[in-house]
């Protein structure tokens, strides 16, 4: 399965609680944190929801 590398580039301060929980589910806590995840439908949906706070690359 394909993998994607996601990096948190913007803060979640003053964001909705759902956005904060989605970032935590992606394994991203602090700005600059990077995680490599298998790309499936659930992960793609999470990335689409918080894409404005992330940098996404193919891994």
Residue 57 near residue 4 (C-beta atoms within 8 A): yes
Confirm whether pTM is higher than 0.75.
yes
In the numeric block, which tokens belong to residue 53? 């706070």
The predicted structure's pLDDT at residue 58: 95
For residue range 11-54, what is the model confidence (pLDDT) as tens digits? 999 999 999 999 999 999 999 999 999 999 999 999 999 999 99
- Smallest CA-to-CA distance from 28 within 55, 1, 48, 3 is with 55
**Whether pLDDT at 59 is above 90:** no
Regarding the domain delimited by 3-58, which CATH topology (the fold level of the hierarchy) does it fall under? Ribosomal Protein L30; Chain: A, (3.30.1390)
CA atoms within 13 A on the CB side of 1: 9
The predicted structure's pLDDT at residue 1: 80
Tell me how many degrees the CA angle 36-43-41 measures, rounded to the nearest 5.
Answer: 130
Domain chopping of the chain, boundaries: 3-58
- Strand 54-58 and strand 34-38: the pairing is unpaired
């Amino acid at each position: 399965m394909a993998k994607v590398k996601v990096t948190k580039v913007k803060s979640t301060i003053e964001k909705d609680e759902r956005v904060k929980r989605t970032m935590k589910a992606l394994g991203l806590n602090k700005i600059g944190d990077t995680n490599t995840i298998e790309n499936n439908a659930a992960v793609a949906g999470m990335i689409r929801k918080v894409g404005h706070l992330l940098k996404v690359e193919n891994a």
